[in-house]
Every structure is written in structure tokens, then in C-alpha cells.
Structure 1
Amino acid sequence: MQRIRIRYAKRGPLRFTSHRDFARAFERALRRAGVPVAFSQGFTPHPKISYASAAPTGVASEAEYLEIGLQAPVDPRELRVALDAALSPGLDVLDAVVAEGGSLADRIDASHWRIELPGIDPDVLRRAVAAFRAAAEVPVERMTKQGRRTFDARGAVNSIDVIDQTEAPSEVTGAPCAILDLVVRQVTPSVRPDDVLSGLRVVADLEPPVPPRATRLAQGTLTAQGDIADPLEADRERVAIGER
């Protein structure tokens, strides 16, 4: 009867929540908030929830998306508040809009990442990034569900830049920290932030002395200017037109 699209964040220690753990927590939050969620048909009905390219476990995010089907219409603003209150702090519901057509997955083809690299000199990182950009391809290995695979980490990277440590203190320690600013297109197999870091290790032997911290800042459609369009904006625009 109604579909709602939701943007949520994974912050702090909750970034270690796996996708499966979040899905269970979200279903419990739906029940606690009294949301009239619709269910699939058959012998084992499931709530109608679809997720769009969830971030890897251990990665923080400000831009995770899902869609739920409802049995009755609700006010998306009230739904956002109720679900946010029902979830643990660190799993934060940031936005909710009525789905006005199209597929949410079709509106997401790239991600914008911020990767903190404490202990790495910005000039060393710049040289590694220059070598990465100059490479025609950067083969890396990763274990997948199909076993260990080798794939190109370079081809999916739309832009990769370094933010000087004096301009961007660490979100964790507050101390100066070299930052990698990264826009990656969604391909198959997916290229994740740790794959790009593996690629920097391949081309420049870059080895961070402490674990990096990655945060997804945005997801959406990559524009010709290299920006990422908000996947919920089209729904807002259709609602605004309907209200005129």
C-alpha cells in the first residue's frame, strides 16, 4: 500500500555490526515502533525490506539505504523519529521519504569514502596515490563467497585524492591525520576501501602502521561533474510536485 525509503547511519562501535545483525535489529525496531510493515506471501512470510549495497562490517557510514513495504500509509517524518528511537545509538535513522516510483538500486552506482590513515605522512600518501592513478590496472586479491579472486582495484576508482593532515584532524583521536578522499563506482565484484588500500600497497608498498578507519559519506548516481546525486531526491521532487 505504501513504500518508504530510509537513509541510516552506522557510527562509532556500531560500525562493527554485520549486515545480518543490522537486519535483525531493524526488524525488532519495526515491531517496537508499531510500524505496519507488509509481509511476503507463502509458508514463511518475511517483512518486505530491501537493502541497497550495505557497507562492509567494520566500516562506518553516513549513507546506508533500505526500502520497506507497508500495509497502511504513514507519515515518513513520524516513522523516522519512531525508528530512530527504537534502534541503538550509533544505528541512526537520518531520513525517510515515500517511494514515488523507480528502483532504489537503479539510483545507486557509486560511493564517496573518507579513509583516515593515522601515522602516514601526507607526502608519502600523495606519491602512492600518484602511482595508483598512473597505473593502467592494479590487481589485488580478496576472498569472496566464490573463493579467492583477483580483480582490478583501479578501474572502479573514479577519483582519489589526499587531504592534508593539517586540514583534517582524525575523527577518532582529534590529532592531525592524512585523509584519503575516494569515489568508487559500483562494479562486480565490488571494490571496497580495503581493496584500494591493498592496491596502494601493491603500487607503492604503502603500509599503514595502525588500522585505517573508513567512512562512507554518500551513495548515489555519479554525475558528469563527478558529484554523487542523492538517491532520495527524485522522491522528494515528485512529492513536492504533487503538493502544488
Structure 2
Amino acid sequence: MPRYRVKFSKDGPARYSSHLDMVRFFDRSTRRAGIPVAFSEGFNPHPKFSFAAPLPVGVAGLEEYMDMELKEYLEPAEIARRLEVNLPEGYTILDIKEVADHAPALMSRVSRAAYRATATLPAGYSEVELKAAIDGLMDKQEITVIREVKGKRKEVDIRPGIFRLAGGVKGHILEINMELLIGSTGNVRPEEVLLKLSRDGGVPVDPEDFRIRRTALYAEGDAGLVSLWEV
């Protein structure tokens, strides 16, 4: 069966939909578009969609990926044209290409994610202070957070999963950029980093006041990091 990689964005009102909602939206939209999606066998068949990594509710995704299998071949441009007009507001098709049937699943390849968090600049707070807070956090050998795991509170060291952290001020906007671990080996959540910058670094912005966008997803390639579009 032909297999396609879909690059799309999820922003605006769509960022408040859950991962399960998104799967339903794509199922409904491909049906309306007359796209012959293949279904699994068994008692409860479901469309053969495979997403790279779920987005937390409230976080926008500017370059998200999913693979889907069809029962018959269609030109990628035709799939994009049909799908685009049937998706809910906030979802945009960026590109579609055919991939090899034996290509590894997206979820098994994704290893890093880039995020951009923005908030209104607090009065009197400077870029120098922000960069000092970031440097202070990155200089730590260990950064522990508390997570709920199967009903129990557990300390987790997220420092090994923070690969890059930078920030700046653009006009009245405070911006923080992160490159974090994601995938089968573990996850670091952008909200956890923002919470540490607030509590330990003194950044005077409540983490909930940031608008977070996931800007890219990466896999480990032979020559280093590559976009999931390239794997």
C-alpha cells in the first residue's frame, strides 16, 4: 500500500484540541475529502495514521508530521489539495510526499524537539537578566523536577535532556528557545524548563503566561540531527 508523509501545522484554535481529537479530525477530513485511507484489520479497525509525537493541549506545532497509508496511489499534491479544504480551522497542510513502505515509524525516529516560548516582557526586566538566568540554569549539573508516575511522585533529572537553551528580548516580547529530549528514550517538557527559570532563575513570568510553539522535530541521522521530513 502507498505510504505518505504529511507535514502540517497546528496553531490558533487548533492548539487547544487534544491528540485524540486531532486523530479524529484527520479521520473525518480524509473521509470528507474522499481519500482512500487504509484501515487496520480486526474487531475495531482504525485508519492507518502514525504521528511523530503528541502535542500537549495548548501547545502549537509549526512543523508536525504524520504518516498515512492509502489503499491506492494518489499524487501527493492531490492529497494535499483535497485534505486542506476539509481540515478544521488552525490545521494547515505544509507538504506531502510518498515514502518507502519499509521506512521506520516516525515515533521510533524522533529524538529532539525545538520549542519557542514567548510572553509579554515584564516592566524593568532586561535581556541581560534573562541571559544570566539561562546561563545559571545550564551551568547546573542536575535539574530535578517532580513528576506523577502511576500515582506516585518521582524526582526526575531533566538536565541531560536540555540540549540548547537561549533567550532574548524583541521589543515588548520576551522569547525563550529550547531544544529538548523527546521520544522513546524520554521527554523533557518545555513547561518544566520555564518553571525552573521562574523559580530558580528569577524570571518574573508565570510559566502559564507563556505561549509555547513546537517549531521542529528531529531525528538522529548519520551526519547528525536531521528533520523528520528527511528520514
TM-score (structure 1 length as normaliser): 0.83
Q: Secondary structure in 2 aligned to 1:232?
A: helix
Q: Secondary structure in 2 aligned to 1:58?
A: coil
Which has more strand, going by share of residues?
Answer: 2
CA shift digits 1:177-228 (9 cap, x unpaired): 11111111225441111011122234324341571011111111257998x5
Q: Is the 8 A contact 1:7 1:63 kept in 2?
A: yes
The answer to whether 1:128 aligns with 2:130 is no
Distance in 2, Cα, partners of 1:144 & 1:117: 30
Distance in 2, Cα, partners of 1:145 & 1:30: 36
What is the aligned length?
Answer: 224
Q: Secondary structure in 1 aligned to 2:77?
A: helix
Distance in 2, Cα, partners of 1:148 & 1:69: 40
Provide structure 2 residue ranges, at least 5 long, that are not aligned to the other structure.
none
| Cα drift, residue 68 of structure 1 | 0.9
The answer to whether 1:42 aligns with 2:42 is yes
Instruction: Specify which of 178, 193, 196 is matched with residue 196 of structure 1.
Output: 193
Q: Secondary structure in 2 aligned to 1:38?
A: coil
Q: Is the 8 A contact 2:49 2:68 kept in 1?
A: yes
Distance in 2, Cα, partners of 1:28 & 1:211: 33
Alignment of 1:169-184 (within 5 A): 176-184=172-180
Where does residue 215 of structure 2 map in the other structure?
A: 217
Distance in 1, Cα, partners of 2:18 & 2:197: 26
| Cα drift, residue 147 of structure 1 | 4.4
Root mean square deviation of aligned Cα: 2.2
Percent of aligned positions that are identical: 30
| Cα drift, residue 38 of structure 1 | 0.7
> Structure 1: which amino acid aligns with 2:139?
A
**Structure 1 pair 37–191 and aligned structure 2 pair: CA distance change class (3 A):** same
Alignment of 1:9-24 (within 5 A): 9-24=9-24
Where does residue 116 of structure 2 map in the other structure?
A: 114
| Cα drift, residue 3 of structure 1 | 0.8
Where does residue 149 of structure 1 map in the other structure?
A: 154
Q: Secondary structure in 2 aligned to 1:7?
A: strand
The answer to whether 1:59 aligns with 2:59 is yes
> Structure 2: which amino acid aligns with 1:185?
L
TM-score (structure 2 length as normaliser): 0.88
Q: After the TM superposition, which of the residue ranges 105-114 and 24-33 deviates more from structure 2?
A: 105-114
